[in-house]
Amino acid sequence: MNEEATLQSQLNELVRLPFEEIIVVVNGSTDNSYEIVRNHPCCATIVHFDSALGYDVGRAVGAKLSHSDILLFLDGDMTISVDIMLPFIYEIEKGADVVLNPISSILPNYDQRDSVSNIKQFLNLCLGRKDLNADSLTAVPHALSLRAIERLGAKVLAVPPVAHERAVRYGLSVVSSPVVADVINSNRLRKQNVGEENHVEQLILGDHLEALHELMETSAPRLNFPDLMRQRHFMEERKDDSVQNNLDHPDL
């Protein structure tokens, strides 16, 4: 997408760290994004697509091409400082497989949150990870270990909630960074991500429904929530009585 307004400053931050490789996926851009990356001294590997790949697909492309032990995912439409990036990397070095941006710490009270934040928290609750609150692979920055990439596969990163659900379900070490990157207030406003029921909101909600469906298929239909109110065995008894009454009917 068109990221020329912020891409230069983000690349400037990246060269301050000794990354083994920097992969930039430029897709659907009509501005100078490609030229900015090409001329930058970071010597990034550029993957260029004339058409837009769609939200989050670039992550899967970059992960597929990477050979690094630690992968840090960023978006070009905002600038994340080195001080914010480093804790994500350190957590992987300490043994974590997935490190999330702890955006829950800057969210308003639950009753004032948007539907996307609510469904993120609901997915974590269903996964038995109440401690993650609304932290999710949907938000950048986040970091993954090579072990996580090999276990999950790069392709699933195109649907972050499904990757998130599988990471927890597969028993990978999923933690939140000790430092938050405020991507809520720094995210660029576009026509696709503003307004009630905007395109991005609907996409993220749909991705979470896909993750919840997979979790239901692989664990339990009620997502391990007990049903303590409905005494369904009474209905089974009534059903048996109804069958017996029909058999005893004089016309039969």
Name residue, tokens 């497989």.
Answer: 97
Q: What is the pLDDT of residue 127?
A: 96
H-assigned helices in 153-228: 160-169, 183-186, 199-218
Q: Is residue 169 part of a domain?
A: yes
Q: What is the pLDDT of residue 196?
A: 63
> Per the structure, how many domains does the chain have?
1
Q: Is residue 29 part of a domain?
A: no
Q: What is the pLDDT of residue 72?
A: 99
Q: What is the mean pLDDT of each run of 10 residues along the chain (252 residues)?
A: 91 96 96 96 96 95 97 95 98 99 93 92 96 97 98 98 98 99 76 61 96 93 78 66 58 56
Q: What is the pLDDT of residue 21?
A: 97
Kind of pairing between the strands at 23-27 and 45-49: parallel
Nearest Cα neighbor of 176 from 123, 108, 105, 109 is 105
Rounded to whole angstroms, how far apart are CA atoms 234 and 117? 39
Q: Is residue 244 part of a domain?
A: no
Q: What is the pLDDT of residue 223?
A: 83
Q: How far is CA 141 from the centre of its chain?
A: 10
Report the interhelical angle of 115-126 vs 199-218 (nearest 10°).
Answer: 10
Rounded to whole angstroms, how far apart are CA atoms 87 and 18? 15
Q: Is residue 234 part of a domain?
A: no
Query: What is the span of the domain harbouring residue 166?
Result: 68-218
**pLDDT 10s digits, 110-138:** 888 999 999 999 999 999 999 999 999 99
Rounded to whole angstroms, how far apart are CA atoms 204 and 209? 9
Question: φ, ψ for residue 243 (rounded to 5)?
Answer: -65, -45
